Amino acid sequence: MERMTNSAAQLLLEIPDRETLDRALHMAVAAVVDEIPHYPGALYLRPTLFGTEEDIGAAARPSSKVRFYVLTSPVGDYFAGGLKPLRVKVDDQAMRSTPNFGAVKTGGNYAAAMRQVVRAQRELGADQVLFAPGGEVQETGAANFILIEGDELLTKPLDGSILPGVTRDCILTLAREAGLKVSERNFTVEELLERAPRGEAALTGTAAVLTPVGTLLYGGREITVGDGGMGAWSAGLREQLCAIQSGVAEDPHGWRVPLRAT
């Protein structure tokens, strides 16, 4: 809700109050609770807000009318074919989003990255693109990015250029508790390529949870990350978060929210 509120503010869209938004989510889940698949299936929630003002001349000003709804989608195991390390192209030219707009949860950001991702899939057999405009590592088209080497987890800070992923936040919290030094700082493609062969890399996101990166594609080269498989830290963090999400493990952080009667 905090991320939606912040995104709406950036888009100059009016939004219901937090209590109303929260109640809408619980109502939406309660309406389809019998259709939620067993784990590792899930109910994917997508709260949506968009402007609806009927004025062809309103392109230069914010909409004074909006619509809000919650989309509920039962989904199966995202990795039904098995969890496979990804091939990721490192692009030091293209931008995933416009400057200072990457933190906004909007379809426009995904659309802006789509052309580069599809091209990398067709030309290189890549699964995703890691955007690093000007040589500074940011995130992929649909997920945050982390690099682990030794006892350090490295990821870009929340400076407005990347999305403040909820899964990212959970993984960083668990990593600190596990003894990793979490460094949220800027780093370059050069540093990434130098450290990757000795470490682990992964993407974090709602559906991906924590998905390993096995190969980086850059400048006509293929750089193997670690041994090309899922590293021990990545496997452990992913297993721990999934156990909390599914109710198998205790939830000391209050991440699981009981469904309330509406």
Record the tokens describing residue 262, joined without a space.
């509406």
pLDDT of residue 55: 86
| pLDDT values of the chain reduced to their tens digit, one per residue, 262 residues | 889 999 999 999 999 899 999 999 999 999 999 999 998 899 999 999 999 998 888 778 899 999 999 999 999 888 777 889 999 999 999 999 988 789 999 999 999 999 999 999 999 999 999 999 999 999 999 899 999 999 999 999 999 999 999 999 999 999 999 999 999 999 999 999 999 999 999 999 998 899 999 999 999 999 999 999 999 999 999 999 999 999 999 999 999 999 987 6
Record the tokens describing residue 25, joined without a space.
């989510």
pLDDT of residue 71: 96
pLDDT of residue 82: 80
> Do 245 and 160 touch, CB atoms closer than 8 A?
no
**Which domains are assigned to the chain?**
2-75 (3.30.470.10), 86-246 (3.20.10.10)
- SS3 at position 5: helix
Give the distance from CA 2 to its chain's centroid.
16
Burial class, 124, CB count within 10 angstroms (exposed 0-12 / middle 13-18 / buried 19+): middle
d(C-alpha 3, C-alpha 260), whole Å = 22
Q: How far is CA 76 from CA 35, 81, 85, 153, 258, in A?
A: 12, 11, 20, 30, 22
pLDDT of residue 75: 92
